[in-house]
Structure 1
Amino acid sequence: MKSRWLCSILATVIGCCFAGARKPPAESVKPAIGMTSKPIGKEIVQADNAFGFKLFSELFGQEPEENIFMSPTSIAMALSMAYNGAAGKTKAAMAKVLGIEGIKLSDVGMANAALLAALRTADPKVQLEIANSLWVRKGLGLSPKFVETNTEYYEAKVTELDFADPEAPDIINGWVKEKTRDKIDRIAGTINPDDVLFLINAVYFKGSWAEEFDTALTQKRDFHLSGGSTIKHPMMSQSGDYKYYSAEGFQVVNLPYGEERISMMVFLPAEESNLAAFVGKLNSENWNRWLDSMKVIKGDIVIPKFKLEYEKTLNDVLSELDMKIAFDPAQADFSKMVLNPEKNPLFISQVKHKSFVEVNEEGTEAAAVTSVVMTLSAAPQPEERFSMIVDRPFFFAIQDNETRAVLFTGAVSNPE
């Protein structure tokens, strides 16, 4: 039985492997780290969130009856690494889609470096690892500036491979498997003769609830599907003090992990509403307003256990968001990516995203990988006890509460 779950991560793990790749000196990173509290840092987080919500809405519209889980962070970081090699109209289109128009390339890099540093040290009781990597066909000359930008700001390691070797995909996939703790074991398939570069971001998250759910209270209860039918599914229960908000046709509760720096935000549409109506309101402006409206009150929460895997090629949806030129062999301009761009004109042939999430009484484990393949062309409620029984399609997100970077977003129509 199909279930719909859309989860978007600002948890993209970009892993970069390069034998002998230069690790940025501490002094080159420190200025960026300080930017988390400066406007440019906040601007990048807002841009990533806005991009993630738009992407989520597009995917939701295309597959309204399917579960979807994604990491906006992973996708944005992978595309940002490719953006470092874009020029002309291609660069302008990507900047518009990513929401970074008017921001200097170096400022984008410093802000992303600061975000990486902030997320990796967010909570000592939570595992949050983000890695970036570039896998380049042996013999292709990458622009030194392009390599320097991605290694310095994104800590991407670069590995040169013989793409004609049948084991090349296994080497790339081995890195993905390692960085996602075996949750995602494959992102690269057959490497085509004209494929010359893989830019990969990988994210891994594992967090225990600040207050774990009691397994003795978990029992099968009704979960109402959007089509009108009902299934029996294991539901976890808990009572306590939670950040909570109810208005505008939905309820939202904050379920923190570890030391409460990172949380899962669960949005439940009202019975007279539905998930599509909520997604129609989902944007960064409303997101911040909703978070600012939350207050700590006592309440009861019932939420399903679930485990999901998702895989999607994002070429079409990114084209719909006005990035079509980057996928056009005749028009794409990535001349800042390689030496001799006249002889090596590149375009993005594929943006692929894979993700995994499992939610149970102990906490949450999630992972996401994004691969960009470059190819040669020829109002608050009163403070009273609430009751939130998540027994129908709902939206959820995992965010870093300090920077408000949205790591994952999801919509669950059927938890089976």
Structure 2
Amino acid sequence: MKQKIGHTWENFLQRRYGVRLGRRYALAAAGIVLMGVLGCSSVTDNQSAVAQPSLPASESQIKSKKPVPDAKVVAASNRFGWKLFAEIWKKDSKKNIFVSPSSVAIALAMTYNGASGTTQQAMGKALELQGISLNQVNNAYSALTSLLENPEEKVQLKIANSLWAKKDFAFKSGFLQRNRDFYQAKITNLDFQDSRSAGKINQWVEEKTQGKIKNIVDTIPANQVLFLINAIYFKGNWTQEFDKKQTANHPFFLASGKQQQHSMMSQSGDFRYYENQQFQSVSLPYGKDGKISMYIFLPKRNTNLNNFVKTLNAGNWDKWMTSFTKREGLVRLPKFKINYEIQLKPALAALGMGEAFTDKANFSAMGKNLAISQVKHKTFVEVNEEGTEAAAATSVGIVATSARVPAEQPFRMIVDRPFFTAIRDNQTGSILFMGAIAEPK
């Protein structure tokens, strides 16, 4: 009898813990953040607390011993993204917008490692990092990168960091080492007076983004001393690809009321779907496991995209993400391909980072007499029947000085007017890309 009980318990353990798990999740978003750095002031390394991951670890994470990113840092990155998008919307509300908040946040986190005093405080506030130690930030982004950069079938995600330093310029060793240790940054010394130096940086960026981002550095000013670059490339096929035979021209209505004929993809099936009085929304997953999705939010005809953007914030987003349920329906979505470029300095200054752009900036944990001169962001995205390809680049210059609802009828979501979209990692909740599409091209 004892042997039988023992055998039964052993079988239970094997059934409970010996199951084969699905592949790690798929990331979809391409972002590149390039940060150029030049001169600032003086301070000490700070914050030594070890990150305390607050996301629950899955059985697959435990077995693979993958680190779990601190949920507080992921949430902070998302809050920063919503604030940044709101500032960009003020300037470009009539254009197509597509940005990578995660990419910008990682690049600024690398720079944050060199900030001190009131400059560090201002950057921490803008980045929503108050109350989070520098070590927590660094450990969280290290863990997040490790978790995201684990492609599955039909999904590619590549993340790379590099520092391009002016030859013979003295940087604090602690600043360089933190970027090596936590961001796996490749550090290269260059003669910035050599006309070929910009080409070498651009070649690295182009290679890491599969040719989607080019010429992020036009010229290197005489007072330039450093470029910090974060490059992200994403390519994901839909879990259920659109049938090209169903693609046809249909009208798309611009905010002005003007009508255009546009190539629209169509698909019927079961989707994660949410609708309220203001909008319809659908989740379109990538890869075999669907751990990364593109979310489409379509304002209803009695409102518009401008009114929808006013409701975008962390609280509403989190509430919406828990409201999706599986439902049968039809989705018609325009194919589109967009290149976007913006100078982020005004938006970041409006978020409270203004000091970092002045001669009062304190980047003494990086080196002497340094300040941020510009923040340039470039992105690319293409959406078609197979899936999505995306990339982003941010150049920061630093200068010296659910369940099915059977009772409901199948929905119809015809995306034939301006809409909002986001690419989200569903496991961590990290928002990789977001954009407002006024006119698909």
Mark yes or no: TM-score above 0.5. yes
1:26 matched residue in structure 2:
none
CA offsets, 1:76-97, max 9 Å, x none? 0111100000000100000001
1:60 matched residue in structure 2:
89
1:5 matched residue in structure 2:
none
1:313 matched residue in structure 2:
343
Note the residue ranges of structure 2 that are not aligned, 5 or more in a row: 1-27, 36-49, 58-67
Aligned with 1:12 (options 31, 38, 63): 31
Aligned with 1:363 (options 372, 387, 392): 387
Alignment of 1:202 with 2:218, yes or no, is no
Tell whether the 8 Å contact from 1:13 to 1:129 is kept in structure 2 after alignment: no
1:161 alignment partner AA:
L
Tell whether the 8 Å contact from 1:10 to 1:52 is kept in structure 2 after alignment: no
Q: What's the RMSD between the two structures over aligned residues?
A: 2.0
Tell whether the 8 Å contact from 1:10 to 1:49 is kept in structure 2 after alignment: no
Q: Counterpart of 1:333 in 2: which secondary structure?
A: coil
Alignment of 1:162 with 2:191, yes or no, is yes
Q: Counterpart of 1:66 in 2: which secondary structure?
A: coil
Aligned with 2:372 (options 340, 345, 348): 348
Structure 1 residues 228 and 15: CA distance shift in structure 2, 3 A: closer
Q: Counterpart of 2:217 in 1: which secondary structure?
A: coil
Distance in 2 (CA, whole Å) between partners of 1:197 and 1:170 is 15
Residue 12 (structure 1) shift = 3.5
1:22 matched residue in structure 2:
none
TM-score normalised according to structure 2 size? 0.84
Task: Give 4+ residue runs of structure 1 displaced > 2 Å after superposition.
Answer: 9-16, 31-40, 122-125, 380-384
Alignment of 1:223 with 2:248, yes or no, is no
Distance in 2 (CA, whole Å) between partners of 1:234 and 1:196 is 47
1:265 matched residue in structure 2:
295
2:15 matched residue in structure 1:
none
Tell whether the 8 Å contact from 1:350 to 1:374 is kept in structure 2 after alignment: yes
Tell whether the 8 Å contact from 1:13 to 1:132 is kept in structure 2 after alignment: no
Aligned with 1:388 (options 398, 402, 413): 413
1:4 matched residue in structure 2:
none
Distance in 2 (CA, whole Å) between partners of 1:10 and 1:361 is 17
Identity %: 48
Aligned with 2:306 (options 276, 292, 312): 276
Structure 1 residues 14 and 65: CA distance shift in structure 2, 3 A: closer
1:270 alignment partner AA:
K
Q: Counterpart of 1:371 in 2: which secondary structure?
A: strand
Bigger-Rg structure (1/2)? 2
Q: Counterpart of 1:293 in 2: which secondary structure?
A: coil
1:246 alignment partner AA:
E
TM-score normalised according to structure 1 size? 0.89
Residue 10 (structure 1) shift = 7.4
CA offsets, 1:167-187, max 9 Å, x none? 010000000000000011111
Structure 1 residues 178 and 83: CA distance shift in structure 2, 3 A: same
Residue 11 (structure 1) shift = 5.0
Tell whether the 8 Å contact from 1:85 to 1:336 is kept in structure 2 after alignment: yes
CA offsets, 1:155-208, max 9 Å, x none? 111111000000010000000000000011111111000011111111110000
Residue 74 (structure 1) shift = 0.8
Residue 62 (structure 1) shift = 1.0
Aligned pair count?
386
Distance in 2 (CA, whole Å) between partners of 1:123 and 1:45 is 22
Tell whether the 8 Å contact from 1:14 to 1:131 is kept in structure 2 after alignment: no
2:425 matched residue in structure 1:
400
Tell whether the 8 Å contact from 1:308 to 1:357 is kept in structure 2 after alignment: yes
Residue 42 (structure 1) shift = 0.9
Distance in 2 (CA, whole Å) between partners of 1:147 and 1:10 is 27
